[in-house]
Structure formats: C-alpha cells, structure tokens
Chain A
Amino acid sequence: GNSVTQMEGPVTLSEEAFLTINCTYTATGYPSLFWYVQYPGEGLQLLLKATKADDKGSNKGFEATYRKETTSFHLEKGSVQVSDSAVYFCALRMNYGGSQGNLIFGKGTKLSVKP
C-alpha cells in the first residue's frame, strides 16, 4: 500500500544551523506531496507542497523537491530559528475523492532549536 517514511526524531539544532528532515514515500502512481507543521498545542498547518515530479515547494525559508527517481521529498532550511521548533509531518495524497483522497502521514519529526 501507499506509505510515508520520515526520519525519526527528536532533532535538536542550534540557531542558524542547517536543517534536513528526510522523507521517502511508496505509492502506486503519482501522488501529491506535502509537509505539514504542528506548533505546540496547535493543529497542523500546511508548510509547503509539490504536485508533480521535479516541483519544488517553498515557504518561510523551507524547501523540498519532489524526486520521483528516489521517491523522496526531503525538507531543508538553510538557517533555522528558535521559532521553527515544532513537529514536522511529511504526507502524500494520491487522488482527490474516495479513499484515494485521504492524506497519508509519516510519523512526524520533532525539531527543537536552541538559542
């Protein structure tokens, strides 16, 4: 079946460090890929997305590129801030409608950024 695997956390970085959170997927077909972020005590919100191979999603200094050849969608940021401390979820969706329209999530990676 379709699935998402992301690196286990927690990840602890110093402010201004480089961040990479790995995400790979298994899917029969061509999914859309998402990164969601969950700040403490809040719901999930979309960070960025990509809907086809070689697309790059970007937002708030974060980037991820849809790599079909490696079935990956790694999240990167060049210089993290304390305010980036949160849990990050990689997710996929196959198609809109029916069971295929459901988001499938990875287990989440908790990021803590120290001043």
Chain B
Amino acid sequence: NAGVTQTPKFQVLKTGQSMTLQCAQDMNHEYMSWYRQDPGMGLRLIHYSVGAGITDQGEVPNGYNVSRSTTEDFPLRLLSAAPSQTSVYFCASSPPGQGAEAFFGQGTRLTVV
C-alpha cells in the first residue's frame, strides 16, 4: 500500500542548479498538489492539478514548474534554485469530495547553498 511516494527524501543544491522533485500516487486520485513547509509559516500551496493535463498556480508558484501527464505522477521542477527555496516540500493527493482526506508523502528536505 504505497500511497503517495516522494523522492528524494533529502537534497542539497547549489544556487542556480535545477532539479525535479518526484511525486507518485497509486490511489487513482484526480487531485494532486505541492506544498512547502517553512518554520512559522505552515504549509503554503505551490501548484496543484485537478487531473491529467490540468495544472494551476497556488499561493507561492514563482521559481517552480509542474506538469501532469498522467494521473499517477506530478513532478515539481525547480528551474534555477535559490536559497529562499530551502524548505521541506510535500506532495498530496485527494479523492473527490469536499470532506475527503488528503494523503501526504513523507516530504523532501531541500537545502540550497
């Protein structure tokens, strides 16, 4: 029962490098999203998707790109890493329904030096 799988768990990048954070879910959920978690800030929405081929921006989208070519996968790309992107990143997926539970991955701890 894999649920939501994020890779890698830890990553260190140099300023200006690019990378992709992977997220995969095996529950056939239409709704997927990416959040970042910073101390004292809670979780802030970066991008989300309501289905394959459909993505939209959240609260803090600058510096990030996403695509959704399949229901299962929702990768997050950092185009040119900056120290301000040092954070813990969480991917989540949800089934339909306003009261439905969101399932979260274990997180990726990213440090940009």
Tell me the minimal C-beta distance from B85 to chain A in angstroms.
19
Q: Mark B36-62, 1 if CB is under 8 A from A, else 0.
A: 000011110100101000001010000
> Assuming A42-B106, A102-B58, A105-B43, what are 12 further A-B pairs, CB within 8 angstroms?
A34-B101, A42-B107, A43-B90, A43-B104, A46-B101, A93-B98, A96-B96, A98-B56, A102-B33, A102-B45, A103-B45, A108-B42
Contact in complex: B107, A107 (CB < 8 Å): no
List the 4 closest pairs (A to B, CB-CB), nearest first.
Answer: A51-B99, A43-B104, A107-B42, A32-B99
Residue ranges of B at the interface with A (Cβ–Cβ < 8 Å): 4, 31, 33, 35, 40-43, 45, 48, 50, 56, 58, 90, 92, 94, 96-102, 104-107
Candidates B43, B50, B92, B104; contact of A97 at CB < 8 Å: B50
**Count of inter-chain pairs, beta carbons less than 8 A:** 65
A-B contacts, 30 listed (Cβ < 8 Å): A31-B98, A32-B98, A34-B101, A36-B104, A43-B90, A43-B105, A44-B90, A44-B92, A44-B102, A44-B104, A45-B104, A46-B102, A89-B42, A89-B43, A96-B94, A96-B96, A96-B97, A96-B98, A97-B50, A98-B56, A101-B31, A101-B50, A101-B98, A102-B33, A102-B58, A103-B33, A105-B42, A106-B42, A107-B41, A107-B42
- What residues of A have a CB within 8 angstroms of the CB of B101 in the complex? 34, 46, 49
Q: Mark A70-99, 1 if CB is under 8 A from B, else 0.
A: 000000000000000000010001111111
- What residues of A have a CB within 8 angstroms of the CB of B100 in the complex? 96
Tell me the minimal C-beta distance from A26 to chain B in angstroms.
15
In whole angstroms, what is the CA distance A51 to B99 when docked? Answer: 6
In whole angstroms, what is the CA distance A94 to B90 when docked? Answer: 21
In whole angstroms, what is the CA distance A93 to B104 when docked? Answer: 16
Contact in complex: B98, A95 (CB < 8 Å): yes
Known A101-B50, A102-B33; contact A107-B98, beta-carbon cutoff 8 A: no
Considering only CB atoms, which chain B residue lies closest to A46 in the complex?
Answer: B101
Tell me the minimal C-beta distance from A24 to chain B in angstroms.
15
- What residues of B have a CB within 8 angstroms of the CB of A45 in the complex? 104
